[in-house]
Amino acid sequence: MKKTHSTAHKIKAKLSLHDVSDMETVKALGAAYDGLLNNPAYPNPPVDLATYKTGIDHFSQLIIDAEDGGKRAISAKDKQRVVVIKMYTQLGHYVQAACNDDLAIFNTSGFTAALKTRTLPQPL
């Protein structure tokens, strides 16, 4: 009798924005907002989308304000970046749970699926 192993392939959202430029971060945040807004697959996001959009807009403005290199402006931008990334992360975890591991539904969210790559051991 042959044994088969069934393992569910969990869809994970790519949530790490640490090594991403501010403008690329704004793009990722905006894509998630656009994907979740009025999306019937995600009826109860843990973050109010209007609040999230306001946070993105404020972060975008602070990026522009910080271009002159002022310490206060840069500090305010960095603090707001942390705030919006926390909201983005909460939304990402919600999307992972709510999509029921259906990639088609997940892709409507505006989040990017994290690639699952396995590295094979190198021969000695």
Q: Which residue has the tokens 């409507």?
A: 108
Mean pLDDT of the chain: 88
| CA atoms of 52 and 57, how far apart (whole Å) | 9
pTM of the full structure: 0.83
Considering only 16-20, 55-59, 88-92, 115-119, which range has the smallest mean pLDDT? 115-119
Band of residue 120 on the pLDDT scale cut at 50, 70, 90: low
Q: How does pLDDT run across 46-67, given as a tens digit for each residue? A: 999 999 999 999 999 999 999 9
Q: Is residue 88 within 8 Å of 18, Cβ to Cβ?
A: no
Complete DSSP assignment for 32-86? HHHHHTT-TT--S-SS-HHHHHHHHHHHHHHHHHGGG--HHHHHHHHHHHHHHHH
- What token pair was written down for 108? 């409507």
